[in-house]
Structure 1
Amino acid sequence: MSDTHLTAPTRFVEVAGDQFAYRRWGNTATDKPPLFLLQHFRGGMDHWDPLMTDGLAAGREVILYNGRGVASSSGQPRTRIEHMADDAAAVVRALGLQKVDVLGFSLGGFQAQDLTRRHPDLVRKLMLLGTGPRGGNPDSDPGVLERAPRPVPTIDDFLFLFFGRSETARQAGRDFWKRRHERVDQDPPSSPQVIQAQIEANMYYLAKLDPQAPFSHLREITQPTFILNGANDVMIPTINSWHMSQHIPNAQLFIYPDAGHAAQFQYPERFMQHARQFLDE
């Protein structure tokens, strides 16, 4: 029986003396590069949606990954996005891969942009979900600062942070919450040190590289790029997705209605249809 999101074993690859956790499964009978996934603030491999990852794995390999010090990976957590991106590139190379497609969600999207800019030879296509550019609009909902760093997040925190406000959206959030807890041998939660390190990394990411042309660095990303957000992202304001679409030369933008930060988890079937088309075309 082939592996799935619920059964793929956790493996480790050593880079610079630390053990990086990853899970890898999917369709190997294809010439498409694996899809390498980078997760949100404090998230690990079990914060992905099994419906989404298994759906994508039907057409290609998928690789879930924990950064340095995150969840089951060892080492000192990184405090700069560019260093997280360099770690991801080192892991891709340590796995013997010449080229990957990259999907980054939220803080993982920050890393995905820097991975693509700093190591363009490794990335064929780029997917940016619920994220924003360096120097983007930081005006998140005030409730985010209370809920996102909570030591033990609740389902109500996830619904507020990730999903739309209608009852239909909230039910989609509850369905996601159930799916993401189905795996038996789950990753350990990320430590308080990871939370603090990633908060620091996020603060540095808010600074503009060039105040006169704050998004000019995005023109360095020449790979085909898929950008997705919900109509009302309370974490990373949706306007940031528009800015990325206007400055990444080969980008296309999707905005899902009645959705928030995690539009792909709220509309998994719609997202998989759009994602497969983008990755296969």
Structure 2
Amino acid sequence: MHRSIPVRSETGDLTGGHPYAAVGNGPRALVVLPGLGDAMFTGVYPPFAGWALAPYFARYLDEYRVYLCSRPRGLPSGYDATRAADDHARSIEAVAESSEAVDVIGVSMGGLIGQSLARRRPDLVDRLVLANSACRLDEDARSDARELERYAREHDWASIRSKLAVDMFSDGRAITYPPMIRTIGRALLPRPAEPADVWRSLEMILGYDGCDRLDDIDQPALVFGGERDPYFTARLARETAAELPNGDLELVPGAKHGAFHERKRTFDATVRSFLDR
């Protein structure tokens, strides 16, 4: 009689103090680099976090062990994508068996880090997915990012989350989430372990421009975004995919900055097809 193998799950810290949660039994490693929201919690994944993530990453678990790799708490002043990529490289080496390359999904800010990682450590990155990310922030979105930075310096986490909800979702959540965040969310949602990590992350996003270095990324790369993304716009997504030597593009009509989550079936089907080629 065939006996199913329990899904492996673990949490902890990788080299350099990178908190992580992992789930899956697959032979390949898939590393997910999260966006700005990563700075807005304690940085400690509870023991059950991996199992809690299993349904979210179910589309990948037959082939992959998925690692959600956070950034360390207490980011230094001047933190940039180069520093982030070098730090993540050391943490990824701890999960890649024998120096085997891993596949990487970089979400928003994580996509900026993923680009730098692919350039600096081509031996470590096999395939790269840029989820609601591009080679830089859209010029028209810089004022929005500075507004978020101001909220961060004022420790106004509810305003950050409310604005992001509006900018991420194209459905009713853009309307219902902000009042919930500003009321019961103030008591229930986590607070950053290190408030400065939030504005230093935003400084990194504002300072990043890799558009003239895309041809240094030789790995197959997929740019996945929303047609209405206000931060990494459809125009930038198209330009990024076009300048990548092995770039593919998938834009979801009507979707905004949360297309990777709001249109998850489309995202998972597109990404899995890309990774399996």
The answer to whether the superposition gives a TM-score over 0.5 is yes
Q: 2:158 aligns to what?
A: 153
* Contact residue 29 and residue 103 of structure 2 kept, 8 A: yes
Q: 1:183 aligns to what?
A: none
| 1:66 partner amino acid | S
Q: 1:121 aligns to what?
A: 123
Gaps of 5+ in 1: 178-185, 209-214
SS in 2 for 1:202: helix
* TM-aligned CA distance change 1:230 to 1:222, over 3 Å: same
Q: 1:94 aligns to what?
A: 94
Q: Which range moves more in the overlay, 112-121 or 187-196?
A: 187-196
Q: Which range moves more in the overlay, 262-271 or 74-83?
A: 74-83
**Among 6, 13, 20, which residue is 1:22 paired with?**
20
Q: What percentage of aligned pairs have identical amino acids? A: 23
Residues 168-188 of structure 1: CA distance to partner in whole angstroms, max 9, x if unpaired? x749x96xx9xxxxxxxx986
* TM-aligned CA distance change 1:188 to 1:89, over 3 Å: farther
Tell me how far 1:190 sits from its aligned partner: 4.7
**Among 250, 259, 263, which residue is 2:259 paired with?**
263
* Contact residue 105 and residue 129 of structure 1 kept, 8 A: yes
Q: Normalised by the size of structure 1, how large is the TM-score?
A: 0.76
* Contact residue 102 and residue 112 of structure 1 kept, 8 A: yes
Tell me how far 1:240 sits from its aligned partner: 1.3
Q: 2:186 aligns to what?
A: none
Higher helix content, 1 or 2? 2
Cα RMSD for the two superposed structures: 3.2
* Contact residue 10 and residue 22 of structure 1 kept, 8 A: yes
Tell me how far 1:21 sits from its aligned partner: 1.1
* TM-aligned CA distance change 1:202 to 1:170, over 3 Å: closer
* TM-aligned CA distance change 1:77 to 1:10, over 3 Å: farther
SS in 2 for 1:246: helix
Residues 202-242 of structure 1: CA distance to partner in whole angstroms, max 9, x if unpaired? 23214x7xxxxxx3410111111111110111122222111
Q: Which range moves more in the overlay, 83-92 or 146-155?
A: 146-155
SS in 2 for 1:126: strand
1:140 has 2:136 as partner: no
| 1:241 partner amino acid | A
* Contact residue 96 and residue 102 of structure 2 kept, 8 A: no
Tell me how far 1:78 sits from its aligned partner: 6.1
- Distance in 2, matches of 1:201 and 1:170, equals 26
Q: 2:113 aligns to what?
A: 111
| 1:13 partner amino acid | L
* Contact residue 43 and residue 190 of structure 1 kept, 8 A: no
1:61 has 2:65 as partner: yes
Q: 1:181 aligns to what?
A: none
1:278 has 2:267 as partner: no
* Contact residue 127 and residue 227 of structure 1 kept, 8 A: yes
* TM-aligned CA distance change 1:27 to 1:78, over 3 Å: farther
Tell me how far 1:38 sits from its aligned partner: 0.7
Gaps of 5+ in 2: 181-188
Tell me how far 1:273 sits from its aligned partner: 1.1
**Among 31, 36, 48, which residue is 1:36 paired with?**
31
- Distance in 2, matches of 1:99 and 1:145, equals 36
SS in 1 for 2:261: helix
- Distance in 2, matches of 1:102 and 1:187, equals 26
Q: Which range moves more in the overlay, 54-63 or 152-161?
A: 152-161
* Contact residue 157 and residue 191 of structure 2 kept, 8 A: no
SS in 1 for 2:68: strand
SS in 2 for 1:120: coil
* TM-aligned CA distance change 1:93 to 1:257, over 3 Å: same
Q: Normalised by the size of structure 2, how large is the TM-score?
A: 0.77
Tell me how far 1:143 sits from its aligned partner: 5.0
